[in-house]
Structure 1
Amino acid sequence: MVLLANSNLLLCIPFNRGPGLTGLKNLGNSCYMNSIVQCISNTNELRNYFCEGSYRDDVNTNTKTRGQIVEELALVVRALWANEYRTIACRDFKRAAGSYHVDFGGVRQQDSHEFLTLLMDWLHNDLNKKHHIKQRIPPAQEPEEPPQQIEDMEESAKIAWHDFEKCNDSRILHLFFGQQSSTVRCNSCSFESVTFEPFSTLTLVLPQNSDKCSLNDCLNLYLAPEPIQEWRCPKCKLTRRATKKFDIWRLPPILVIHFKRFCEDIAWRKQHTLVEFPLQRLTMTQYTVRPNQKHTFYDLYAVSNHYGTMEGGHYTTYSRSATFKKWYKFDDADVSEISESSVRSNAAYILFYASQNLRSSTYILPRDR
């Protein structure tokens, strides 16, 4: 075994499979973390950003995580693509995550989506060039007269995004963040309250009482109007029934889709619905208010899978290698080639799509490591 300088990355089993095909040792129910790390590692733009070292120009230490999370993750990604190791154990990264969220430091199984959400927040803060501006997300304001025409809505969306960018500027934002609106309409007076908000993941509910559905079904369900029984109408100044609806205004270069498989009725349970999703050319034009925007066609490049139940389960990753143009299964330390037909399963939990407008690239680690 070899110990990387200034880290606790145990590099074991010295023969390699190829760049990006290094496994991650399970450090005690850490498969949820390993799964997300492999998805991040196979995000071409972040891989290059970390491996080439350009991220160092953006790191700031005046945040809660003091730049530690991004530094540790960069070490892990660099080792995964070094083309020298079959397996690594990223103890320092896990320890750093656990120091800022105690559950991630233990040996109990955690949720990969929760980990992804916090990791994205930490990375954004560590890399935010406008970190000195305290208010990062402006509070929603209730409009006296909400915009009614699509042109007015577009202008409101631009203003909201501009306000968001005033205090947020990171590689994470530019890759993963989009914008949606939430419109609540009073059923009595038709008054509408419109709020624009950024998103980094679309969390989609699965259709009830169905063993099989399509990603389109889930997207349609997400964007469908939803009744609200009690809403305080600013115009009526009374509690009214209302209707709520989401609209997508800005799609990100990297589109992350999370299936809400865990739901609560009498008790928490998992939905094992098989979702049919495209591996190439996911078309989002019909799901956005602005169909002519830059990012509307996507190719799948990674899937975080969950097997089992809430009480006991296991996470893996399926990812398409940009180097070998093949799909691989990352099961902690084990990495193996799989067929395209294996990628879709009822274990799919989080999908990672890259816009076709992003330039596909392979990666060669610089010699001056």
Structure 2
Amino acid sequence: MASVHSISLLSEAEFGCEHLAAQLGQDGSTSEQFKSAFIKTHNALSNFPRSTDLSVKQSTRLKAKGFLKPKYTCLTCSEAISMADRKAHTEKTSHQFYMDSRGRTLYCEACSDFVYDHGLERLRCSTTESALEVARKRRFSNSSADELYIRSNANKRPCAKQGVRGLFNLGQTCYLNVILQTLLHDPILNTYFLGNGHQPHDCTASDCVGCAVAEAFADFNSSDKAEGFAALNLLLASWRASPTLAGYQQQDAHEYYQFLVDKLHASTEGHREGHEKGCPCFFHKTFYGKLRSSVTCDKCGNVTRTDDPMVDLSLDVQVQAKKRAMGGIGASSTPTLSGCLDSYTSPEKLMAGVYNCSHCGGTPQKATKQLRIRKLPAILCMQLKRFEHTFSVSEKLEGKIDFPLSINMLPYTTVPHARVDRSRFMYDLSSAVVHKGKLDAGHYYVYCRQGDEWMLFNDDQVTAVTEADVLNADAYLLFYNLRSLASAPQ
């Protein structure tokens, strides 16, 4: 016996979307006018020249690139407009249904998607103007096997993907998978790549990393498949762009993140190579901040300031561990992210010989150095440096480091604290990358926020987890998103 829920789904499946259901559910004359406009537009677009006809009239010198872009015909006023002007037309006229010139498929601006309606599909089974009359005379039987199959299996296409997808390990590629999953779950990057961001069909660069990432976003958000997929093109593009990445040896996820951000920046049209010039591209604004180094001469008080671009913060957790081992303050406590940030931005004494003061005749002087964040990025990556390499030994610091779900970065900036809205510096955790195992034989997995929930991505295995699971993880990389882009600090 059918449940109330299943009956509801069947009734929804009778129309392509709820907006179309409202349109066709109006009084008879209004509904018939819409169907007539649908058939009339369909027949008019049947003569729209195909891309294969371009070679027939070379004398017109049509540019294929612009010619292939579809036009959208409004079913209400019959005006043909471009994709870029479609939203403005709807806002001006309240007309929300269009037919595209290439596939003659129905588009609903309210859904921002193409919609399929089996009733309208029956109307355009014929290419003649009498199709509407034929449909009036010949009704499909409700008991028809075909009609029953369509009603039982059709439903509205979701506006967004349902669930999440893992990434197949292609041979020691877990370092790539965790960074890509982090990007795939970032709302800022989804808006860019699923909108009018990097367009592979317009890109002429060979082995473009930006194109490979755009393809990964398209694959991940495809509603056609639910199982995991392989980011093979991104792997190959990375190998070709960096000889040190080529091959199936284990790589560092932090170094791959830096590589990927740099290549995405380089793939943007109009980007500037020198970060000190202030590149206006999307990726530079999203990933790059500025770090200020201030050196104060202990003798004369002269201050030398230098601003450098930063793509992440590398926080030395080894310093805290050594202090605890020596019986310092907080010897029995767990190291914290805020403690690492405090150490990172605390003044540091420089011995004579390291710094030459220009105000003291260029002579070596003792000095005090301090790092502060001059400009924060929208996506802030923080590396908890668990790996230490010396001439004699390379080791990894195991153990938990406490980190919060939200953090205020104002105390670590150059901004005067008393004259600013602290809420403008709030960041929320978006993902946490974990490394398990030894330096040369480890494995990466990542926790990512999916809406209001958290998911654990271990290559192609996906598991729902709690906030407590995330906060208990031995994180290696932490990614935080600026809470409000509208009030982002400059």
- Report if TM-score (shorter chain) is over 0.5: yes
Q: How far did 1:66 drift?
A: 5.2
Q: Select which of 72, 83, 108 maps to 2:249.
A: 108
- Determine which structure has more spread, i.e. the larger CA radius of gyration: 2
Letter in 2 for 1:215: L
User: 2:258 aligned with 1:98, yes or no?
Assistant: no
Conservation of the 8 A alpha-carbon contact between 1:251 and 1:295: no
Q: Aligned residue for 1:137?
A: 275
User: Using a 3 Å threshold, how does the CA distance of structure 1 residues 102 and 187 change in structure 2: closer, same or farther?
Assistant: same
Q: Select which of 148, 159, 171 maps to 1:28.
A: 171
Q: Aligned residue for 1:233?
A: 357
User: Using a 3 Å threshold, how does the CA distance of structure 1 residues 105 and 20 change in structure 2: closer, same or farther?
Assistant: farther
Q: Aligned residue for 1:157?
A: none
Q: How far did 1:106 drift?
A: 0.8
Please show how residues 200-279 of structure 1 align to structure 2 within 5 Å.
200-206=311-317, 207-209=320-322, 210=324, 212-229=334-351, 230-236=354-360, 237-265=362-390, 266-279=392-405
Conservation of the 8 A alpha-carbon contact between 1:302 and 1:353: yes
Q: Distance in 2 between matches of 1:352 and 1:295?
A: 17
> What TM-score, normalized by structure 2, do the two folds share?
0.59
Q: Aligned residue for 2:221?
A: 81
Q: How far did 1:198 drift?
A: 2.3
Conservation of the 8 A alpha-carbon contact between 2:207 and 2:240: no
Q: How far did 1:89 drift?
A: 1.2
Please show how residues 348-367 of structure 1 align to structure 2 within 5 Å.
348-358=475-485
User: Using a 3 Å threshold, how does the CA distance of structure 1 residues 345 and 269 change in structure 2: closer, same or farther?
Assistant: farther
Conservation of the 8 A alpha-carbon contact between 1:200 and 1:256: yes
Q: How far did 1:269 drift?
A: 0.9
Letter in 2 for 1:248: I
Residue aligned with 1:289, SS? coil
Q: CA RMSD in A?
A: 2.3
Q: How far did 1:195 drift?
A: 0.5
Q: How far did 1:247 drift?
A: 1.3
User: 2:221 aligned with 1:70, yes or no?
Assistant: no
Q: Select which of 28, 31, 42 maps to 2:185.
A: 42
Deviations 1:266-324 (A, max 9, x none): 41111124211111x311222222242674011111111111121211001100102xx
> What TM-score, normalized by structure 1, do the two folds share?
0.77
User: Using a 3 Å threshold, how does the CA distance of structure 1 residues 19 and 349 change in structure 2: closer, same or farther?
Assistant: farther
User: Using a 3 Å threshold, how does the CA distance of structure 1 residues 332 and 356 change in structure 2: closer, same or farther?
Assistant: same
Q: For structure 1, which segment, 232-241 or 38-47, has the greater mean C-alpha deviation from structure 2 after superposition?
A: 232-241
Q: Distance in 1 between matches of 2:201 and 2:310?
A: 22
Q: Distance in 2 between matches of 1:250 and 1:60?
A: 31
Q: Select which of 399, 408, 426 maps to 1:283.
A: 408
Letter in 1 for 2:474: A
Q: How far did 1:215 drift?
A: 1.1
- State the identity %: 28
Conservation of the 8 A alpha-carbon contact between 2:265 and 2:271: no
User: Using a 3 Å threshold, how does the CA distance of structure 1 residues 58 and 204 change in structure 2: closer, same or farther?
Assistant: farther
Q: Aligned residue for 1:150?
A: none
User: Using a 3 Å threshold, how does the CA distance of structure 1 residues 54 and 302 change in structure 2: closer, same or farther?
Assistant: same
Q: For structure 1, which segment, 221-230 or 291-300, has the greater mean C-alpha deviation from structure 2 after superposition?
A: 291-300
Letter in 2 for 1:171: F
For these two proteins, the number of residue pairs brought into alignment is: 306
Q: Select which of 431, 438, 452 maps to 1:309.
A: 438
Deviations 1:112-147 (A, max 9, x none): 00000011011011115244xx5x134xxxxxxxxx
Please show how residues 149-228 of structure 1 align to structure 2 within 5 Å.
164-165=277-278, 168-206=279-317, 207-209=320-322, 210=324, 212-228=334-350
